[in-house]
């Protein structure tokens, strides 16, 4: 009997992750590349193609063994036409027919969606939000992405661009955002902004993981910085809770590694600032599938899309 697999790709502003998954969404092989090393748009497309071909060859498979390729992308996507409108944190991508290019070059069924949508899909089907009907998921990293499940279905909006929680303005005036907006949530709590603040605070280079470890050990500077991040996030989510009245909110991505120092403060801000009825029912969870959520979501997208 022919063994079938799915290839999932999660393209972020920092890392390009490629995985081979079985039809139960178990990861059989995974590779991680540096997105910046792929440089230009053309080079990045070549990286996607080469990484796909290599993982097939290294596992001694043929194209006939691959059910399809699912890709999570860090920006607004027209899922019907397979167009990348643009990426806020990767330059050179405007109205690119990525689905057409990859289908021609790889000869596989191709499914594209926003990376946060795929994280949301994975957490709803298999992770922290399993069993909840109305869900909001956030992925906090280079950018701040969001996905929305309404009555068990992924909600994409008219232009397939719903869920951009990172681009909710949280002030009338504030820093410019890469999306061309001003005072967006992402402009306050994206990786680069947090690291920039941390380096000024500690007067040395410091990684996000180190900042999380320091906070867990009781370092007051680190705790204060994470508290500020949680305040901004909680304010945005209080508005989301009021507007969508979700059963639960799932928070993932690298920044969620801060753990309770972040999540407890987010819960507190929501309880203080959201309306009583909505806030009472909105549970806040840390994502369960970790860094693999986007890859698993990409595989779910393929299997459900073909079905």
Task: Look at residues 165, 177, 170, 111 and name the one whose alpha carbon lies nearest to residue 139.
Answer: 165
What's the pLDDT score for residue 52?
Answer: 97
Is residue 284 located within the same domain as residue 299? no
DSSP codes, 167-231: G-B-SSS--B-TTS-BSBHHHHHSHHHHHHHHHHHHTS---HHHHHHHHHTT-HHHHHHHHHHHH
Is residue 277 located within the same domain as residue 145? yes
User: Which residue is it, tokens 């009472």?
Assistant: 280
With a cut of 50, list the residues of the chain below it in pLDDT: none
What's the pLDDT score for residue 12?
Answer: 83
Whether residue 81 is contained in a domain is answered as: yes
What's the pLDDT score for residue 179?
Answer: 87
What's the pLDDT score for residue 83?
Answer: 94
Read off the CATH number of the domain in which 73 is found. 3.30.420.40
pLDDT digits (tens, 9 = 90+) for 19-76: 999 999 999 999 999 888 887 899 999 999 999 999 999 999 999 999 999 999 988 9
Is residue 302 located within the same domain as residue 198? no
Q: Which residues pair with 138 in a beta bridge?
A: 146, 251
What's the pLDDT score for residue 35?
Answer: 85
Is residue 207 located within the same domain as residue 284? yes
Task: Look at residues 209, 250, 247, 248 and name the one whose alpha carbon lies nearest to residue 226.
Answer: 209
pLDDT digits (tens, 9 = 90+) for 252-278: 998 898 989 999 999 999 999 999 999
Is residue 139 located within the same domain as residue 105? no
Is residue 19 located within the same domain as residue 82? yes
Q: Which domain holds residue 13?
A: 5-118+295-306
Is residue 302 located within the same domain as residue 239? no
Is residue 195 located within the same domain as residue 299? no
**Cβ 257 vs Cβ 142: under 8 Å:** no
Is residue 56 located within the same domain as residue 178? no
Is residue 18 located within the same domain as residue 40? yes
Q: How many domains does the chain have?
A: 2
Is residue 165 located within the same domain as residue 89? no
């Amino acid at each position: 009997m022919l063994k079938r697999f799915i290839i999932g790709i999660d393209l972020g502003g920092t890392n390009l992750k490629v995985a081979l998954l079985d039809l139960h969404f178990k990861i059989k092989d995974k590779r991680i590349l540096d997105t910046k090393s792929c440089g230009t748009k053309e080079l990045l497309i070549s990286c996607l193609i080469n990484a796909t071909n290599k993982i097939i060859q290294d596992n001694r498979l043929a194209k006939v063994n691959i059910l399809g390729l699912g890709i999570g992308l860090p920006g607004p996507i027209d899922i019907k036409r397979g167009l990348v409108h643009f990426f806020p944190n990767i330059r050179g991508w405007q109205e690119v027919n990525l689905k057409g290019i990859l289908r021609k070059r790889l000869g596989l069924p191709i499914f594209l969606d926003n990376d946060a949508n795929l994280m949301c899909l994975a957490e709803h089907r298999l992770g922290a939000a399993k069993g909840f009907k109305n869900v909001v998921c956030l992925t906090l990293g280079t950018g701040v992405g969001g996905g929305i499940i309404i009555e068990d279905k992924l909600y994409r909006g008219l232009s397939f661009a719903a869920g951009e929680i990172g681009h909710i303005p949280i002030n009338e005036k504030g820093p410019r955002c890469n999306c061309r907006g001003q005072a967006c949530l992402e402009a306050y709590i994206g990786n680069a902004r947090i690291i920039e603040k941390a380096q000024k605070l500690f007067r040395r280079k410091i990684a996000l993981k180190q900042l999380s470890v320091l906070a867990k050990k009781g370092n007051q500077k680190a705790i204060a910085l994470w508290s500020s991040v949680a305040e901004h996030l909680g304010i945005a989510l209080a508005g989301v809770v009021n507007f969508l009245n979700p059963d639960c909110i799932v928070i993932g991505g690298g920044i969620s590694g801060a753990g309770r120092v972040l999540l407890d403060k987010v819960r507190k801000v929501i309880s203080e600032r959201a309306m009583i009825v909505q806030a009472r029912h909105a549970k806040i969870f840390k994502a369960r599938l970790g860094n693999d959520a986007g890859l698993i979501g990409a595989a779910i997208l393929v299997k459900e899309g073909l079905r």
